[in-house]
Amino acid sequence: MGFCRSCLKFSGYAAVVLVAVLVYFHLECQREKEENLKNKTNPEFDPELTDCTVSLGYIKKGEDIEMKMGMEYMLVQSIPCSLNKLVVYIGTLTGSSDAGMADVGKAEQHNVTILDARKADPGSFHDTGFTLITLDKEPVTTDWKSNFYESDNPDIMHFQEQMEPYIKQLYPSVKKIFWTFNVIRGGDKLGDQPRAVGGPHLDYFQDDEARVEFHKEFPEMDVDRSEAKLMMGKLDDEDHKLGVILGVWKPLSPAKVCDYPLAIMDARTFQPENLSQNKLHIQFMPGFTFHNLNGAISYDEDQKWYYYSHQTPMDVLIFHQYSKGKWFANPHTSFLNKNCPKDSEERISVELRVGLFF
């Protein structure tokens, strides 16, 4: 009886502490939300002004970094902010997450001008590494999160098939098109991921030897559509060799994106000395951690950035994530465009990656 009473008393104390912590985090979330709303848009909206000058977070030149993300990365879009802050706090205590602060001393901010590619023609796809495709008909896909790991015929496959003729126009000599990954960003469902805002990056470090060494220490995912296996040549055969991985990015809503467009660096202005390693570890759940050798980007005044103003769900942005045996890739990032109407709907998008074999 006495033991039970002690357990109940301890549980009561723990509950009080938990409630107090959640209330504290809730108030913090409210303050952050109010501050973000206050600073999200300019006092006046100028529809004629579409070039943007923003501050982006780079890594200092020559500095490699390492990032750990816990389960909060997969939960942040779908659970209350206060609960997510609690998950982050627990993750920092257990070491599964560093909340992006481990290498904060290696970061630096730079103001850059991002030109509207609809007005300032950047050049051709094979010069710049990117282009905008306007679909000739509405996609029939509705489940943008569906994938080949859950079904042999996922709904996303309809969109992938719709895109393949456009890809073949860009690369007529392609022998095999191999889709790997798709994710929704900015949505509010479980598994949706946050927008990658304000930090230029590449999803893959471009040095294959470094990738092999990285995965000796941190094994790649043992799945059929592993991008690490793809880049390390493990999915090549006698007649098909990987040449390129493209990024495919399109809005799902609103009808015209204003607040968080995707910016792309002209590949001609991206130099090898401005790429560093980002050893990324994401714990999706206890016992399951995804490891990837990403690319961290340092600043150079000669870099040129572009975006497509008011991109619609019928507009698909295609760019280079990786090129085999060739220096040709597009660092990219979303950014906050403050020159928007105050009632602008926040962007939700889908992104895919596709390997091209030659």
**Which stretches of the chain drop beneath a pLDDT of 50?**
none
Q: Sort strands 315-323 and 242-253 into parallel, antiparallel or unpaired.
A: antiparallel
- Tell me what pLDDT residue 72 has: 77
Rounded CA-CA distance 167/39 in Å is: 39
The pLDDT, as a whole number, for residue 89 is 75
Tokens of residue 48, six digits: 């004629």
3-state secondary structure of 37: helix
The CA distance from 201 to 316, in Å, is 20
Cis peptide before 254 (omega within 30 of 0): yes
> CB of 245 within 8 A of CB of 106?
no
Residue-wise pLDDT for 62-94, tens only, equals 999 999 887 777 777 877 887 777 777 777 777
Both tokens assigned to 306: 């572009």
User: What pLDDT is attached to residue 29?
Assistant: 73
Task: Compute CA distances 47 → 2, 20, 44, 107, 338, whole Å.
Answer: 71, 46, 10, 33, 12
Per-residue model confidence (pLDDT) at position 78:
76
DSSP element (H, E) containing 26 = helix 2-39
Q: Which residues contact 283 (CB under 8 A, 6 or more apart)?
A: 68, 69, 70, 71, 91, 96, 97, 289, 290
Q: What is the pLDDT of residue 1?
A: 56
* Residue 136: C-alpha distances to residues 82, 165, 166, 260, 352 (Å): 43, 11, 10, 25, 19
As a whole number, the mean pLDDT across the chain is 90
- Give the pLDDT confidence score for residue 93 in this predicted structure: 73
What's the CA gap between 237 and 14, in Å, rounded? 58
Question: What's residue 6's pLDDT?
Answer: 59
Label the pairing between strands 65-69 and 275-285.
Answer: parallel
pLDDT at res. 208: 94
pLDDT at 209: 95
Beta bridge partners of 332: 201, 264
229: helix, strand or coil: helix
Q: Determine how many CB atoms are found less than 10 A away from the CB of residue 19.
A: 10
Cα 97 to Cα 91: distance, rounded to the nearest angstrom: 5
Cα dihedral 16, 18, 21, 27 sign: negative
The pLDDT value given to residue 90:
74
| Distance spanning both ends of the chain, measured CA to CA | 74
